[in-house]
Amino acid sequence: MIFLRQMPNFRVWKRTANASWSQAVSLSTWTAAHVGHCSVMTTYQEFIQQNEGRDGVRFSWNLWPSSRLEATRLVVPVSCLFTPLKERPDLPPVQYEPVLCSRANCKAVLNPLCQVDFRAKIWACNFCFQRNPFPPSYAGISEVNQPAELMPQFSTIEYIVQRGPTAPLIFLYVVDTCLEEEDLQALKESLQMSLSLLPPNALVGLITFGRMVQVHELSCEGIAKSYVFRGTKDLSSKQIQEMLGLTKPAASGQQGRPLAPQDAAASCRFLQPVQKVDMNLTDLLGELQSDPWPVPQGKRPLRSTGVALSVAVGLLEGTFPNTGARVMLFIGGPPTQGPGMVVGDELKTPIRSWHDIQKDNARHLKKATKYYEAMANRSAVNGHSIDIYACALDQTGLLEMKCLSNLTGGHIVMGDSFNTSLFKQTFQRVFSKDNNGDFRMAFGGVLEVKTTRELKVCGAIGPCVSLNSKGSCVSENEMGIGGTSQWKVCSINPSTTLGFYFEVVNQHNAPVPQGGRGAIQFVTQYQHSNTQRRIRVTTIARNWADAQSQIQHIESSFDQEAAAVLMARLGVFRAESEEGPDVLRWLDRQLIRLCQKFGQFNKDDPTSFRLSESLSLYPQFMFHLRRSPFLQVFNNSPDESSYYRHHFVRQDLTQSLIMIQPILYSYSFYGPPEPVLLDSSSILPDRILLMDTFFQLVIYHGETIAQWRKAGYQDMAEHEVFKLLLQAPLDDAQEILQTRFPMPRYIDTEHGGSQARFLLSKVNPSQTHNNLYAWGQETGAPILTDDVSLQVFMDHLKKLAVSSSA
């Protein structure tokens, strides 16, 4: 519950949390009929919540099988979701630096799990068992006078590093000018507005592009000056710097020399402190014309996104390597020329669809993807992140460009137009501040994982890139981005969550002593938005359990929500490189194996199949995951798929779960709003439904409600109650809208409305046109689909799980 208190928007969180619980409840009742009841391990749930609240960690298993063999048999790997910068207003950072294990290849940070000899002033590293003397400053240490990092409640602690340069944040706007006048105007206003949100000492830069790419010089007076690059020519970083006259790059943070803002400003005419060029830039943005080159009939405007990015990356690379920087790319269409081109300028050639991709018919796909990947990697190396704000009715090439954000921790925002509140609010929210008045963003994060010797790390899935740091705790078995114990996360915000996958390497014949604990330490170094360098250290430990004898315990330590998300991340990660059906098959296989492992059943008797409560919701998550846009590309454009996946692999557990299985509330005259099953049977004429899929917020008015509304009852004094009913979901939706990033698409629809499809496509098609009459009309709305319903899915699952041949 701590966690609940901490959350600023606790109502929402409460709701979502409630939602999952209520689902659990309702599902358990739902499944109870089939599976039967298991005792509820409330203790574990509390434990899990506590840990999440304190450390931002959710493990799939909270007891770890003590041998490799047992671990593999558990199907779901030992893994966790980790939110490195989880907001901890109650955790003031300490003003000193961490004490490190002196072993060269360990360097673990002193933590509460370490054994300390207060007399000898020695501590033993719990990862490598190295005995280390305390540094002189710890001379006064004693059992009653312990430093924070030794206290159990500080399993997560944050250090402020005093040395090293502090560089101002950098925001480089890369703006597409091939926009409709209205769109451009809106975008210009948003950009101008954003200037007031930036920290005054932050450096800003502006690059605009269309057919050409212009880098605007901000320091000039009188005449507006910009450097122009041809949109079709790929230039090396060095060429770009030469052409911009930056052959003497500014002192970089790497060189360890403090970089005074003034110096930086002088060295780079293109990046200037906001406070200095505020007016200039506002004017400049105000005068921004939409791309003046004529667009012939039947052509797309020529948009040199690739070169523009290349210039942006090259510019930052040359001037501020290893400094926190955000490249913010605003596009209103796909790149149509030059390197990174996604589609030709002929309108008659549509932009690639999944169909084209599957037929290997997307001409530019590979080349463009490769181009943007290379750029993303360059950018990541320098610690710069790239945001993409794509607003267009058609696709804009996110599929090809997604890696820019995925690898650098940047945002992707997709909308229909810059002139929508979706974009405006979302963009504004990028600059939101926390309670301390600091931006909710951090830069140049390096996340390192250390494990005790029984564990090795297989990889991570999230907005990061590998730093290729091989160490003793790196597994050869890669899952996600593996082969390293360090990852770079160029931009981190409080909700950025990575999935880490581990491998138990302890051999079966070398059992862990009873009561032994495995430990994992996450060391996150980053640049805080106030330009401080900080290190956050999270050390967690879990008990080892012998799968042979303690399988019940292990089962009850299963965090099905975390497991679902972690498995989903694996699936999504695979989907990036594998065919959709293969991924589904793999997921199904894992699910079946899990059910086989933990289900209670009689062979070949599906009806006898039971799952314990700790796993009871898992199949349902998998069912919805299979239907989700993360794995299903049908009805989604490649851009949308990329967009959804992008957010899925970076949001925290709660949000991820919502994405997998949207939440549905029902509003009626019959009682207070209640969460209901995400099922077609919940769609009733006299209800108002509010569905949150994370990406969309749908308010659906049932048939009767819709008619009433149309008749105008809400305006009649005597029907004020109706008015209140109508208002209730709107108010609730507003709350969600105001806190979520990116802002969801808000849809207000009704029975029979075209937008109702958003709802209909999500609910479990328990009633379809096939079985409609069997169920009777009163009970819900039929869905016109051939998709299998949860019922069918479960039936098959049970059958397969109990099958002796499986």
> Where along the sequence are the contacts to other proteins (CB under 8 A)?
212, 214, 217, 220, 222-230, 233, 235, 239, 242-245, 287, 289, 292-294
**Minimum separation from the CB atom of position 770 to other proteins (A):** 60
Shortest Cβ 233–other proteins spacing (Å): 6
CA 507/CA 522 separation, integer angstroms: 24
Q: Which is nearer to other proteins, 233 or 355 (CB)?
A: 233
* C-beta of 216 vs 751, nearer to other proteins: 216
CB of 214 to other proteins, least distance (A): 7
C-alpha 655/C-alpha 110 separation (Å) is: 33
Residue (212 or 658) nearer to other proteins, CB: 212
Cβ atoms of 556 and 614 within 8 Å: the answer is yes
Residue 527 is given by DSSP the state: E
Minimum distance of other proteins from residue 291's CB (angstroms): 9
Give the nearer residue to other proteins in terms of CB position, either 200 or 245. Answer: 245
Nearer to other proteins, 170 or 244 (CB): 244
Residues 6+ positions from 231 with CB-CB distance below 8 Å: 209, 210, 211, 212, 213, 302, 303, 304, 307, 308, 337, 338
* Minimum distance, C-beta of residue 226 to other proteins, in the bound complex (Å): 5
Residue 308: CB minimum distance to other proteins, A: 13
Nearest distance in Å: CB 223, other proteins: 5
Prior bond of 261 cis (ω within 30°):
no
The CA distance from 692 to 675, in Å, is 11
Could you give phi then psi for residue 570, rounded to 5 degrees?
-60, -40
CA distance 673 to 733: 13
* Token couple for 722: 């109706």
Beta carbon of residue 292, minimum distance to other proteins (angstroms, whole number): 3
Q: Which residues contact 755 (CB under 8 A, 6 or more apart)?
A: 698, 747, 748, 749
Cβ closest to other proteins, residue 287 vs residue 731? 287
Nearer to other proteins, 289 or 704 (CB): 289
Q: Which is nearer to other proteins, 213 or 380 (CB)?
A: 213
| Cβ proximity to other proteins, 50 vs 289, nearer residue | 289
Which CB, 335 or 462, lies closer to other proteins?
Answer: 335
- Shortest Å distance, C-beta 195 to other proteins: 19
| 613, two tokens | 């409560």
CB of 750 to other proteins, least distance (A): 46
**Whole-angstrom Cα distance, residue 163 to residue 169?**
17
What span, in angstroms and rounded, lies between the C-alpha atoms of 361 and 364? 9
Cβ-based burial of 522 (10 A; exposed 0-12, middle 13-18, buried ≥19): buried
Query: Which residue, 40 or 243, is less far from other proteins as judged by CB?
Result: 243
Question: What are 172's strand-pairing partners?
Answer: 205, 327
What lies within 8 Å, CB to CB, of 176 at 6+ separation is: 208, 209, 210, 303, 305, 308, 329, 330, 331, 332, 333
Instruction: Decide if 327 contacts 309 (C-beta within 8 A).
Output: yes
Encoded tokens for 290: 């939409």
Find the shortest distance in angstroms from Cβ 222 to other proteins.
Answer: 5
Q: Which residues pair with 162 in a beta bridge?
A: none
- Phi/psi for 536 (5° steps) reads -110, 130
Alpha-carbon distance 766 to 637, whole Å? 26
For 289, other C-beta atoms within 10 Å of its C-beta total 10
